[in-house]
Amino acid sequence: MRWTDEKALPNLLILNWSLMLQPMARQWSDEELQQKIARIPTAERREAWVRIARQPYSDEEKAEARRKLLLLVDKMEAMLAGSASPAPSTWLIGEHYSLADIAAVPFIARIAEIAPEALDASASPRVHAWWEAVRQRPAFAAARLQAFGEVLQQREHASTAGH
C-alpha cells in the first residue's frame, strides 16, 4: 500500500491531470484556480494543479511518469510469482485477497485505460490473471469503477449545471 501511495500515485497524478484535466484547467481564471487550490490538502497536489493550469508537464515528463507508473506492473508480477513461496499466488500477499490488492486496484484500472498492453497475458501473465480474478469479485462490481475521463466529464457537467 505504501509503495502505491509513494511511488505510483505521484506519477498517476501527472498522467491523469495532464491528459484529462489540463484542457479544462487552462481555461480557469486565476481566481478560479486559487479557489480550487485552496481546497487541496497537500502541497504536492497543489503544485500539480498549478502545473496543469499554467505550466503544463512536458511530453518527456509525461513519458517518464508513465514509465514509472508501469513499474507497479513489474512489482506485482514479481510478488505474484511467489518469491516467498514455491507456487505462484492469486493475490499479492499470501493466499487471501488483502489491503495490498485493494490498494493496487485503482492503479491497475487506470493502467488498463492508459496502457492496456502492459496488462496483456503475454506481457504480464500473473498480473493479467490477478486483474481477471479481481474483476470477478462481487465487491468489484459493487464499486462500479468508471473510466477516469467519464468521471471528470460527469463532475464538470454537475459543476456547470449547479451554477
Helix (H, G, I), strand (E, B) or coil at 42: coil
Q: Helix H segments across the chain?
A: 2-3, 9-16, 22-25, 30-38, 43-54, 59-69, 71-80, 99-114, 125-135, 138-143, 148-161
Please check whether residue 80 is in contact with residue 88, taking contact to mean a CB–CB distance below 8 angstroms. yes
Looking at the predicted structure, is the pLDDT value of residue 83 above 60?
no
Cell digits of residue 92: 499479492
pLDDT computed for residue 152 by the predictor: 67
Q: How far from chain centre, in Å, is Cα 84?
A: 27
Looking at the predicted structure, is the pLDDT value of residue 153 above 80?
no
Helix (H, G, I), strand (E, B) or coil at 122: coil
Using the structure block, give the residue that is written with the C-alpha cell 500515485. Answer: 9
The string of pLDDT tens digits covering residues 35-62 is: 999 999 988 888 888 989 999 999 999 9
pLDDT computed for residue 45 by the predictor: 82
What is the DSSP track for 76-94?
HHHHHTTTTSSS--SSSST
Greatest alpha-carbon pair distance for the chain in Å reads: 59
Using the structure block, give the residue that is written with the C-alpha cell 513519458. Answer: 63
**Which position has the higher pLDDT, 43 or 150?**
43
Go through the domains of the chain in sequence order and give each one's CATH number: 1-64 (no CATH), 70-163 (1.20.1050.10)
Of 52, 59, 43, residue with least CA distance to 17: 52
Phi, psi of 162 (to 5 degrees): -80, -10
Percent over 90 (pLDDT), the chain: 56
pTM of the prediction?
A: 0.80
Of 110, 106, 108, 128, residue with least CA distance to 119: 128
pLDDT computed for residue 38 by the predictor: 94
